[in-house]
Amino acid sequence: MKNYKSIREYMVIKPITFHPEQSIYDVINIMVRKKISGAPVVNENNELVGVISEKDCLRVMVDSAYHNLPAGKVSDYMSPNAISVGDDQTVVDVADKFLKTNFKRFPVVNKQGKLVGQISRSDLLRATKDMFSTTWQEVQEVSANMDKTVIKPNFKDLRH
C-alpha cells in the first residue's frame, strides 16, 4: 500500500468561519462578498458545531416569503451534524469520502475536535495532479520516444 500525502498539504488552513449567534444576514453578506458557498460554524473554543451553506441560507427567503418569519441567527439555519474529516487523513481517504457524498467541502478537525482547516474537491484536484504528475510525465516521455523509434524494413521480407 502506498503512503499517500496528508490532506494537511492541500487544505485551507484559515477558512472563513461563522459563529452560532451571528446574524444570518451577516453570513449571507459575507458569503456573497467573498464568493463562498458555505463555511464551518465554530463555538468560542474553535470547536466545530455545524456548517452553513447557500442552501441553508435560502431558507431565510422562504421563511420570510411563505411564513412571514424574521431572519434569526446562524444556529437557526445551520446544519448542526457537520460531517468532518480528521487532519490525519490522506488525500485518497478524503477523495473516497467525497465520492460517497454530495458535499463540496469538509471541515478538517484535529483529535480534540478543534477546527484546523477545510478541504474542498478542488483542493483534491490539485493533489490528484501532483500525485500523478510524475507518472504522466513518464508516460509522455515513453510515448515521445516511441515516436522516434526507427523501424528498418527487412528487404528479405518484401520479396515473395
Residues 45-78 pLDDT 10s: 999 999 999 999 999 888 887 777 778 899 999 9
Q: Where are the domains of the chain?
A: 7-147
Q: How confident is the model at residue 136 (pLDDT cuts 50, 70, 90)?
A: low
What average pLDDT does the chain have?
86
Residue 122 has pLDDT above 80, yes or no: yes
The answer to whether residues 85 and 7 touch, using CB atoms and an 8 Å cutoff, is yes
Q: How confident is the model at residue 92 (pLDDT cuts 50, 70, 90)?
A: very high
Class of the domain covering 7-147: alpha beta
Residue 149's pLDDT is what? 53
Residue 128's pLDDT is what? 87
Q: From CA 73, how far away is CA 53, in angstroms rounded?
A: 14
The answer to whether residues 47 and 113 touch, using CB atoms and an 8 Å cutoff, is yes
For residues 84-99, give the mean pLDDT: 96
The answer to whether residues 24 and 71 touch, using CB atoms and an 8 Å cutoff, is yes
Q: From CA 37, how far away is CA 111, in angstroms rounded?
A: 26
| Lowest model confidence (mean pLDDT) among 112-121, 124-133, 136-145 | 136-145
The answer to whether residues 36 and 16 touch, using CB atoms and an 8 Å cutoff, is yes
